[in-house]
Structures are given as structure tokens and as C-alpha cells.
Amino acid sequence: MSIIVENDPLDQVDGSASFEFGATKVMSSVTGPIEAARPRNELPTKAYLDINIRPSFGVPSTRETLLEHKLGQLLPAVINLDQYPRQTIQIAVQILKNGEPNDYTARQLVAIINSVFIALINSGISLKSSLMATCCSISTEGEIRTSPTSSELASSVSHFVVVYSIEDQQIDNLLFCDGLGTFKQQQLFDVLDRAASEILLNFQQIRQAIASHVSQNYVWKA
Amino acid sequence: MSQTASLKLNRFPPDVLARIAPDMLLQKYLQIGLRPSLRKFDEFRPVVISCAGVGRYEASEPNGDINGVGSVLGSSIVKSGKTTAICLISGAIVEDDHELVNDYRTKLEKDIIDSDTHKDNKNASVYTEVEISRGASGPPNEEEIAVSHRLYETIYHSGLIERDALRIRLGYKGSEELEQEFVPHTNYSFVLYATIQVFSRAGPVYDLCYGALISALRQTRLPAVYIAEKRTEAGVRRVRVEEYDLVCEAEKNEPLKLNENKIAWSSTFGLVELDRDVPHDEDKMEIDTDGKILLAELEGEAEENIDTRITVSSNGSTLSGLSVYGAAGVTKEELRKAFDLANRRAQYVLNSREMEM
Amino acid sequence: MSIVIPGDHFTLETGTEVVLGPNLQTTGNIANPTTAGYLVQTQTGSSSLAYVEADSKRYMPAAQDFVVGTIVGSFGESYKVSLANFSTPAVLGFYAFPNASKKNRPRLKTGDLVYARVASVDPDLDVELECFDATTGKEGGFGHLEGGFLFEVRLAYARYLLRHQDAPTPYKTPSNV
Amino acid sequence: MNVDRRRNVGPANVKPLVFAESRPPAQHIDPKIFLETGLIQNCSGSSYLENDKTIIVTSIYGPRPNFARSFNDQASLKVSVELSKFLPLDNLKDNRKNITPDKERLVASLESFMLSNFQSLILLQNYPKSSIEIFVQVVALNPAHSLVYTLKNIVNGVSVALVDSGLNIRSVASCGYSGGADHEMAVNFSGEDEILGIWSDFAAFDESFDSAIDTCEKDSLQLRKEINGYLLQKATAKQ
Amino acid sequence: MVRDYDISNNEKQFVLTALEQNIRLDGRKLLQMRDVHISVSRDEYGYAEVSLGKTKVACRVTAEITKPYEDRPFEGIFQISTEISPICSPFFESGLTTGGKQSNDEILISRLIEKAVRRSGALDLESLCIIAGSKCWAIRADLQFLNYDGNFIDISSIAVMVALLHFRKPDMEIDGNNVILFDEDQRNPVPLSILHIPLCFTFQFYNPNDDEENIKGNLNNELVLLDANLIEERLSLGSMTLTINKNKELCQMVKCGGLNIDASMIMNCCQHASNLVDDLTRKIHDVIRTDSELRKNPVEKELQVVNQRET
């Protein structure tokens, strides 16, 4: 897949990034650690994640709440939340282009996860590891497609969002997997393998984007 | 002034320890091969599925007359351990609009292209609202919304309900066929709604709600619908609005057609690493397992503290609706173990006598 | 210097004293960067130093840093000082000024700028500031800043300016014009 | 346009299901009740009451600390009634006002009736600085049941849940019902021949009013027998 | 709790002193607008990104067929959504975390844009009617606020208007009670009927001396500036928004409290805005024209479709 990453395009937040692959584009921002907006968001031992996702059109609905929930399940695995007790880390996401039918969120979730990861790096918040998300679909013929297009998704039997952590330039742990539709056990394992090699391949682009941003921030070092 | 200070060993009862140091308590149990919920590692809570019998076309007693009242089309009560979920299904009628918006082509070409235009939305789902009783009123909280939408999403993509199964074939009163010339221009379909109330919440809510929803859908019967009359009203500023009065038969109905092989049961597992450093009594039985322990249906404060989870639905052999997350990472071997358990569990629950009702 | 990202582990030499700087986490003798930046490892005598030089926008207080903050209010016997917009304010005690006493307390208004030193940082407590030189107890240039303008810069640039006195831009940042 | 963002409500332009009524709803009401307590774990007391296809689940939370107010010398009581979605509400009419109120107003009047009834029954002064909350959920409703008849069921459900909760109460309440052709009445009695509350649509206090009270009392005595029987059986089973 | 920027007295004094000398932090003159940069999507209709200095807003226009309002059977529906996400600054809290309550700034922006665009009849609602009383187009403009550096109002009016001009709805035919929609490949989609282009200009007022002087009326040396950036907007003592179109018609004028200003200043502001509106309108038209020229020629498109079918 061809990936376009824009590093730190936003001014008022601590870290931001846009992630575009195919017809899907998402912009994410991270601010924090900041003071909790209300007392009930102050957790005594760790930071509170305030996640806010907005759709490309229309008002946020239960669909976005579920996406926020999924992101909230994934992120504690990579953020060192316990380093920021009582603080809030605010994550705001704006979906710019869906790139898939309305009843699907796979491509958007991939773009959300990847853009939030880069935004987190830019914000300087302490992370445990690197990660990357990708999506796959299984067609009616049982064929696996990585980063399926909108029409491939629509005609698929099942589709998956897979997130792996990356350590020492290698695929490490399966951090998140969200599968919808019906599939066999073996098919899922094939999907995980395909996703892993896809991630290993594409993470180079993200790494490069991060590296060039770092050197940009230190122009005087050159 | 001589006083000696002494450190006393503090002992906490399990429920207190579960609150202040859930991970410690969990490890203490696991060391001796037990769980805080006292179930075996791979043991699920007993599940009882029963008929609520409140639907319009359901009978409240076996072999009794159908209730014949109300607008509930299907219902179920599912009890898992101490937790109960009551699911009610109802419906409404909507004018099909996808014909209208997606039918891009001119009429001449319609037949050629029809086959590929409607592929994307052949599935339907149930608009679900989950309510977990917790001694507070107000709008649904984030967890309730997430569970509700997850149910909608999982049912939609699993292909359990086809759009065609909800299409209404209009008749005349008393079930006569409708004559061609009276057939309205538009097509109508049912929309399904579900409300699930969860009492005594403990353990995985999603599994229970999924079970309740599936069980209620299996009981759901759709009314036969006929056109009572065609009204042409003069509305505001004498705009003519054509309306059809659609009436559901009081007793005539047919069961909602489900794709039987897509009926599944959902199971949730927790994955926890055994901490060898936690002190434990030497003489107690030691479990030998390297790596992580898979626990079926986490329940109680100590167990629910585990944040690596696997949720999967299975019809006994085929999987659907998978959710895996957690910092510990999940290996294929662990997934395989979870899937096997989920398959066996689904076979057991779906074939049990209760499910037949 | 190489650019590292989280997950790029490297092994610390055992047997020698290693001082860990910012943005590193260790398990045993394996170190893991917590953000992206330049990995800096230097050797001085028997001990070595390792840290990740990373840029960000939000200032995270570290003890002995020199900072410029805005007074946003007072609470009990101390001022609340904002070091970055929307961050939890730091605390600057009324007696953390040179020669301060019950009778001679500083008179700062909300919105005033102060130049101070970070006295203590603990994630579970509020950050504490002081307006005197810890070694002499004297003023040491700290206190109320009058006139001028406050420029916000990225943290890496601020550190660069602090280390290079001959930098081609005004000396301190945030600084007086 | 206000959209509910917290619920997945589906398409906007739907028509509700309209059913042809082939037979009038059964007029005969089966007075048999089925009771169960303690079904809900995470509250102080609960009850499940089933009567002729009407299901009412009551849960009581409290006494729990009340942070809302600075100080109160007795517990504050709150009653919430929730009618599940899809319930046939056509028969729930408030005949006192001769109008069919919307769902919210209906619920509000039920809540205020219950509040005044139970405020005097629960020994609130024994729980200073606390709050007690009663949640009533009408899970299923027999469309033949009128508002007043449902009220009776709700009151009896709450009464049993109160006993289950172990909260200090003066006595066990039981509510009786009397329904005539044009008038309906529900009277809530405490154990000592004392009336806790009357809900009636009688316009005048004439003989028919008195006889309706008598009918209610008889009904309530009968119900008390059933409730006590259940509670005794439950208590002995425990031992 | 409302979060706000902590602006020091030093910054405040510095900005105001500079303003008195007709200098702004970014080097502009008091009544000078920042450069407007407009870009529209090449591969879809109805999407525009506008930046005004560092302030950045995107707008997406979508259309669907629905039932018209009962009391307006001959009109389509037009909605503008102006919810501000914390993505543009933590200063704006999200609607859901505040329990659905909008901040004052948000309410102000949504009302102003509503009046400027919707009530001024920029979009011809009657042209959106398909079958009176039963079917019409519902047009929705969703504003996405991406970066905050002051003046969300003016930029929003530009973004909404560009996105509306850029939007094309599918062509259709009516066959009795059926509506047949045509795909992009089949027939070129049709633009909306835009009657005029109302644009907002927001002026901010300051008094470097004492507020009381204004009220007493002895000295009226208040300062006025156009298109404030973040710090200028936070320090402002009052603001006024004028909505005006190319024909120099004033569509809206709003001044909600704040600093008392000289009546004649309003006239000067109007005059200034009407000088600026021409350029800005031309710029918008240029962007739209360039975009439609870049898109494929319709005849070519038709042939392509035919070819595809034959092979």
C-alpha cells in the first residue's frame, strides 16, 4: 500500500499526524499530559485517556464511540500511563476520508491507530514499543487481501484489523485483532501471517517519516 | 519511656485483597491451580436460556394460545452464573430507499447492472440498546454504547440476517394475494430493534448480551402485513402526498428467517502470566505451565483486572466476531486454545435442550 | 548519532556505571527508548551516560531546570504558576523568595511572569518552584520579569540555545526582548 | 436537529407497527402472582414480580453515602420507574385527569406517588447522610392491565424488595386494587390498617368510594398473605 | 472547569503597545487580513480546505434524499454542523465530555455561520425539491476545525461557501413516483444553485488605555483590527462580525456587547469589508474554475464509459 504520512501538521496540540493510505485519510492529535478537566477523570495511579473521534461527515454516533472504545483497549498496551498519575492525555481524531462503505470501519481504524501512534511519538509521551496496524479481508473464494479497497471489503466474507508491536525492527506481539464476518481458525492464522509481513514491510515508511521529522527538528545538527 | 514498635503481619480477607491488590490475589490463587471465582481455568459459568414468553406471537405457557398482544416480536431470558439478561425484540416498517439511491442506471440497463449494485448491503442487523442495571439512571454510558454497537456490527457482518429476510410481501386483509395494479411503487422492509437489560452484572457482558440477542432472534416472528388503504392526502399548501396504511395481522405471522449456520455463541477469555515471584506456600500443589494461563469467562474484581482478552463467537466450527487486545500480546497457540474452547462451548450451548426451547 | 524509536532495544554494558538520561526505560541491562530521537551515549571515565535527545512541545518539569512561568492564581501560602498552557500548574511558595518572611511577602499579580528554578518533581505531587539560588540563598536573577515578550519555542531548540551561548538568536528562551 | 448520539436508533423515516386487533384484550385478570427475591446481586435488595404476563423487577440501592448535599439528618429517598421499550402503553391512562399523558409524565406521576408512600414507611431517620434509591423496571406489561392495576403490582414489588434489602421499615406494605366499570382504585396499606396512599379516579366520596376501599382492603389482605407466605418460606429455606 | 490559555501581562502589554503603533505580531497592518489559502479535493466533490495563516478548517458537503419538512413541502433541507473538536486546540472541549454542552465560542460560531450562510439564502432551497411533500435533497455541510489560530468565523464562511460551490449532486430523473439517480460515469453530476456568496469579516476592538474612557466618551482612541490571531483574539475586548457579498450587500451585522465603540467606526468597517470582499470572491471563483477545468471533459468521459462496456 502506498502510505502518505504528514508529521506534526497541527500547531496547537503537542503532537499530530495524518495518515493516508488508498482512499482513507485520518488526522490525529495528542495533547498531554495536561490537567484533568474534571475530578472524576483523575485516576490516582495512571493517566486518563480522553479519546475523541469525529466522523468525516455527520455527527458522532455510537459507531464512533465503539471506535473510541477499541482505541482505548489498544493504547494502554503501548503508552506508559503509570508515568503520569492524575494527568489526562487527550487524543482527538478527525476522519477526513472514509474510503470504505458506511457499515465498515476497518480501514478507518487502521488509519486512526497509525496516525495516533505517530502523533504520540511527536508528542514525546513515553511509549513502551512501536506498533503498526493493517487490515485484511477474505473474499468469497477464500482469498486473503491486504489493505482491501472499498469494493473488496464490500464483497468480502470477513475482514480484520491487526496490530502488532515492533521491536528491534521485527514483528513482536499481537496487540490487537478485530475480526468481523465468518472465518475458519486456519484462515485467521493465515491472515495474521500476511498482516505481519505486510506490517514489517510498511513500517519502514513510518519509521522513515518519523526519522526525517526528528532530523528536521534538529536542523542545526546537520 | 520505652516502647517497642512491632510490625504486625496484616491479613486481608479475599474480597478486601481483591480490591486493594487484585493482581496479587489473582496470582495467589493461580499458584495453587485455582481461580478467585473457584472455577477451573477453562470452565465456563453455567448458562440457562429460557423463553420470556412475552412476545406477541409467543405463548406464555407451553402449548398455550399465543399472547396476541403487544408489539414485542421475540424475547429471551439468558442466565449465566448470577447474571441475567432479558432481551426483547420489536420492529418497525421502513420504505426501502436503497433501490432509490443506488439505482444509478437508466431503466433500460437496470437488469444488467442490478446484480452488482446491491452486493454491498445484502446483510441486515438489529438496532440494539443494552442497559446494564447499576443503580443509576441516565443515558447509556460508554461501555453500554460500545457493547450495543458491537452487537450491531457483529450481527451485520456475520450474515445472520439477510436483507431479504426482512422484506415485506404485502397482502390483502386476510392474506389474499395483492393484485398487481394495487402494488405500491415502493417496497417495504422490517427494521428490527432490540433492548437488552442486564441484571446483577458480573463477568463478560458482551457474551451474555450476544447470547440473549441470538436466542431472542430465534424466537422472533414477523407479522404478515397488508395494505389497509391508499390515502392521497392534501397536505400543506395542497401538496398531494400518497400514503399507504400498512397493518400487521393480529395473529398471522412467520418466523424470522435466520441463516442457521451463522447462529453462534460468544466466549471471552482472559490471558494472564503466572508470576513466579509472588510468595506462596511451598507445600501447595504447583501448577506447571510455562507462559500464560487462559481463563474462561473472567468474573469478579481480581479476575476482571486482567487486561489481555480474547472474545470470539463460534457456531461450533466456524468463527465470527473476534476481538483480541492486551499488552501481554497473544500468540497463535493461545488463540488456538481459546478457539478450541469456544468451539466446544458453542457446540454444547447451541445444541443443549434449552436452546431448542 | 543514530535515530531510535520505541522498541529499538540496546544492551547496556554490565560492570560499569551507567547513568540513564531522559526517554529511556530499562529491564535488566536492556534499555528501550520511550520516544523517537537521537540516541546519545558518552563515556566519561568509568561511567557512561545514555539518553535519547528528543524534541517535543509540552514542557515536562525536571528538577533544577530554569523556567519562565505565568502566575495563574494563589492558593493558601503559594502561587500557582503555569509553565505550559493546560498543564497542571506548578506551586511557588510565598517563602520561596530570597528574604521572604511573613511580613515581607512577594507581591505578584495574576498574569505576572516569573523566572524560577524547579525545586522538586514527583509525579504524585505538584511540581515545586523556587525563586532563589539554592547555593547562596540569594536572588540569583530569579523573580518577577517585567516588560518584554514571551516566545514559545520547541523544547529541543530551547535546550540547544541554553547549551550554545553563541547561538545566533537571543540568549535565553523563553526570553526578554 | 437533535439526534441521540448515544443510541443506535436506525433509520429515521420508519413507521411503527400497527396491529389489527382481532379480539378484544382479555378482561379477565389473573390475580396469581409469582415472587422471587435476591435475583440481583449488586444491590441491597431486589424483587421479581410476575403477574399475568406483567413482569416488574425492583432493585434497591442503599443506604449509600450521599455526596449531593452537605448534610441531611435522614436518608434521602429516590424512586425511579422505567418502562422498557416496546411496552404496550395504550392502556396506561391516567383517568383522574382524563388525558393520555406522554410516557415521561406518566412515569413522573407514578414516581411521586411511590415516593410519598414509601417515605413514611421506611425509617429514613435511621440513615442520616445517606441516600436510598429504588429502581423499578417494568420489563413486560400485559396490555389489558390498566395504569392503576400496574401501580398495584409495582407497589407490591417494591414492598417485597424492601424486605429483601433489610432496610428498617415500619411494616410490610401491600397494595389492593378495586376496578369497576367506570372507576378504579388502588390503596396501599401498611400492616396496621393504615392507609399509605390512595390512587383513585372517583369524583365524589360516596358509598361506591367506601365500598371500593373495602374491596381494596380485602385484596390487600389477600396479597399480604401471599407476600408473607413467600417471605416465610424464603426465610425458613435459608435456615 | 473551563480551560483557557494563560496569557501573561507582559505579552498583553507588548501586543497592545505594538498595536498602538499599527504593528502586529506577525507584521501585518491593523486592517490587513492574513493570506487565504484555499484547496479543493480533486477526486471527490464538495470538499474544501481553507487556511488563514495557521488557522485551518475543512468543510465537507454531502447530500441525501429525504422527506421534506411537513411545513415546507417545496423546499429541500440544508444543515451546517459546526462542532469544534479538541484536535484544533485543547482549549475546545469535545461535546460528549462536557455532556453535550457546547462552549460559548462554539455556539457563537454556529449561530453566526447559520445566519450568514443559511438565513441569507445563499443556497436556493427550492431547487432542492424533487417531489413536493415527499422527496427532496438534504444538503449537509460539516465543518472540521483542524487548527486554531484565531478567527474561526471568517474562515468558516469561506470554507462552507467553497465546499458548496465545489459540490455536485448526482443527476436524476423522475419517473412517476420513482427517482432514478445517475452515476458519475453516466451523467455529469450537477452543481447546487448558489444565489450569492456571503463572506464574514470579523473585527476586534481594543483599548490600550482604560475602558472607562470609552464609556465616559471623552477619548475614543480604541483600536480596531481585522482577522485576529490567537493571542489577539484572546485579548480582545469586543468584536463585530459583518457578512457581506460581492454586490456590497450587508447580510448580517453582529456585535455582542464588549467594548463600546464609536458609531462611525461601524461605517468604516463596512467600507473596509466591502473593499475586501471583491478580491476574496474572485479568489474563490478562481479556485472553483481551475478545479472544474482540471476535471475530465464530459464527452471524453462518456466515450470512456462506452468503451469500457464494449470490451
DSSP annotation string for C22-66? TTEEEETTEEEESSSEEEEEEEETTEEEEEEE---SS----TT-E
Q: Is A60 within 8 Å of chain E by CB?
A: yes
The 8-class DSSP code of residue C97 comes to: S
Chains that touch E (3 or more CB pairs under 8 A): A, B, C, D
Domain harbouring D202, CATH code? 3.30.230.70
Question: Best interface-test mutation with B: which of D4, D5, D6, D134 has the largest number of B CBs within 10 A?
Answer: D6
- Asked if the structure places residue B199 within a domain, the reply is yes
Fold entry, domain E13-310? Ribosomal Protein S5; domain 2 (3.30.230)
Instruction: Verify that C130 and C107 share a domain, yes or no.
Output: yes
Locate the domains of chain A by residue range: 3-217
Residue C134, pLDDT score: 79
What's the confidence (pLDDT) of residue B115?
Answer: 39
The answer on pLDDT for D213 being more than 60 is: yes
Chains C and D touch (3+ CB pairs under 8 A): no
Yes or no, beta carbons of A59 and D7 under 8 Å apart: no
List the single best residue of C5, C9, C72 to mutate versus A (max A Cβ within 10 A). C5
CB B66 within 8 A of CB B59: yes
Helices B205-219, B142-158: axis angle to 10 degrees equals 50
Q: How far apart are CA B20 and CA B25, in angstroms?
A: 9
D2 at the E interface (CB within 8 A)?
no
CA distances from B301 to B201, B305, C54 (A): 12, 6, 40
Q: How far does the CA of residue A154 sit from the closest CA of chain D (Å)?
A: 20
- For residue D9, being part of any structural domain is answered with no
Q: Is A57 within 8 Å of E142 when comparing Cβ atoms?
A: yes
Which chain A residues contact residue D8 at CB under 8 A? 61-63
B219, B135: one domain: yes
pLDDT tier at B242, thresholds 50, 70, 90: low
Residue D93 lies in a domain: yes
Q: Are residues C48 and C61 in the same domain?
A: no
**Which grid coordinates are listed for E10?**
507582559
Q: Are residues B34 and B182 in the same domain?
A: no
Claim to verify: residue C7 and residue C69 sit in the same structural domain: no
Residues of E in contact with A60 (CB under 8 A): 95-96
Enumerate the β-bridge partners of residue B88. B75, B195
- Residue C7 CA to residue C83 CA, distance in Å, equals 31
Nearest CA in chain A to E150: A12
Q: Domain map of chain E by residue range? A: 13-310
pLDDT of res. E98? 47
Statement to judge: residues B24 and B140 lie in one domain:
no
The answer on pLDDT for C135 being more than 90 is: no
Upper half-sphere CA count for residue A98 (Cβ side, 13 Å): 17
Q: What is the pLDDT of residues E250-297, one digit of tens each?
A: 999 999 888 888 888 899 999 999 999 999 999 999 999 999 888 866
Kindly tell me if the per-residue pLDDT of D129 is higher than 80: yes
Q: Does residue D139 belong to any structural domain of this protein? A: yes
Q: How many residues does chain C have?
A: 177
Residues B51 and B33 in one domain: no
Interchain pair A35, E97: CB under 8 A = no
Q: Could you read off the pLDDT of D53-101 as tens digits, one per residue?
A: 888 999 999 898 887 767 788 999 999 999 888 887 777 777 776 666 6
Q: How many CB atoms lie within 10 A of CB B104?
A: 20
Residue B281: the pLDDT is: 54
Q: What is the pLDDT of residue C79?
A: 95
Number of residues in chain A: 222
Cβ within 8 Å, pair B242-E177: yes
Domain annotation covers residue B5: no
Nearest CA in chain B to A69: B146
Q: How far is B198 from chain D (nearest CA, A)?
A: 10
Give the residue from chain A lying closest to D2, CA to CA.
Answer: A59
Task: Tell me the three state secondary structure of residue B124.
Answer: strand
Same domain, residue pair C98 and C151: yes
Alpha carbons within 13 angstroms on the beta-carbon side of residue A16 total 22
Same domain, C162 and C77: yes
Q: Assess if residue B254 is contained within a domain.
A: yes
Tally of structural domains, chain D: 1
The residue of B126, B157, B158 whose CB has the most chain A CBs within 10 angstroms, and thus the best one to mutate to test that interface, is B157
**Chain A (69-98) residues lying within 8 Å, Cβ to Cβ, of chain E:** 90, 92-94, 96-97
Residue B98 pLDDT class (50, 70, 90 cuts): very low
Q: Is there a contact between E67 and D5 if contact means CB atoms under 8 Å apart? A: no
In chain C, which residues have their Cβ closer than 8 Å to the Cβ of E54? none
B202 with B340, same domain: the answer is no
Domain region containing C45? 2-53
Residue D13, domain member (yes or no): no
Say which CATH number the domain at B170 has. Answer: 3.30.230.70
- Residue with grid cell 446483577, as numbered in its chain: B200
Q: Are residues B118 and B24 in the same domain?
A: no
* A44-61: average pLDDT: 93
Note the pLDDT of residue D1: 45
| Mean pLDDT over the full length of chain A | 94
Contact C88 A218 (CB under 8 A): no
**What are the backbone angles phi and psi of residue C159, rounded to the nearest 5°?**
-65, -40
Structurally, how many domains does chain B consist of? 2
The reply to whether E101 touches chain D by the CB within 8 Å rule is no
Asked if the Cβ–Cβ distance from A60 to D5 is below 8 Å, we say yes
Q: Do C148 and E14 touch (CB under 8 A)?
A: yes
Domains contained in chain C, number: 2
Distance CA E262, CA E285 (A): 35
pLDDT in tens, A90-132: 999 999 999 999 899 999 999 999 999 999 999 999 999 999 9
Mutate to test the interface with C, among A41, A120, A220 (most CBs of C within 10 A): A220
A12:E148 CB<8 A: yes
Out of 3.40.605.10, 3.30.230.10, 3.30.230.70, 3.10.20.30, which CATH number does the structure's domain A3-217 have?
Answer: 3.30.230.70
**Across residues E295-306, what is the average pLDDT?**
64
Could you list the residue range(s) of the whole structural domain that residue D155 is in?
Answer: 33-238
**Which residue is closest to A66 within chain D, CA to CA?**
D6
Cβ–Cβ contact B105 with E under 8 A: yes
- Same domain for C95 and C32: no
Q: Are residues B284 and B142 in the same domain?
A: no
- The one-letter amino acid code at E151 reads N
Q: Which residues of A touch C123 (CB under 8 A)?
A: 83-85
Domain of residue C90, CATH code: 2.40.50.140
Domain match, C48 and C64 both: no
Intra-chain end-to-end CA distance of chain C, in Å:
34
Interface touch C113/E10, C-beta < 8 Å: yes
CA distance B336 to B322: 13
Range name among B48-52, B110-114, E113-117 with the lowest pLDDT average: B110-114
Contact D1 E67 (CB under 8 A): no
Q: To probe the interface with A, which of E87, E97, E106, E230 has the most A CB atoms within 10 Å?
A: E87
B52 in the same domain as B36: no
The minimal CB distance from C35 to the residues A124, A211, A220 is found for A124
What does the pLDDT look like over E28-49, one tens digit per residue?
A: 999 999 999 999 998 889 999 9
Model pLDDT, residue E233: 92
Interface of B with D in 73-132 (CB under 8 A): 75, 82-84, 86, 88, 90-95, 127-129
Instruction: State yes or no: pLDDT of A140 exceeds 50.
Output: yes
ipTM of predicted assembly, 2 dp: 0.92
Interchain CB contact of D15 with E (< 8 Å): no
Residue with the larger pLDDT of the pair A216 and E133: A216
Q: In this predicted structure, what is the pLDDT of residue B102?
A: 43
Peptide bond into A55 cis (omega under 30): no
For residues E252 and E243, the answer to whether their CB atoms sit within 8 Å is yes
Q: Nearest by CB to A214, from C37, C87, C160: name it.
A: C37
- What is the DSSP track for chain C? -EEE-TT--EEPPTTSEEEE-TTEEEETTEEEESSSEEEEEEEETTEEEEEEE---SS----TT-EEEEEEEEEETTEEEEESSTTSPPEEEETTSSTT--SSS-----TT-EEEEEEEE--TTS--EEESS-TTT-S-TT-EEE-SS-PPP--HHHHHHHHH-TT-SS-SSSS---
Say yes or no for a CB contact (<8 Å) between E79 and D5.
no
Residue D20 domain-assigned? Answer: no
Counting as contact any 3 or more CB pairs under 8 A, the partners of C are: A, E
Do C124 and C142 lie in one domain? The reply is: yes
Both C75 and C96 in one domain: the answer is yes
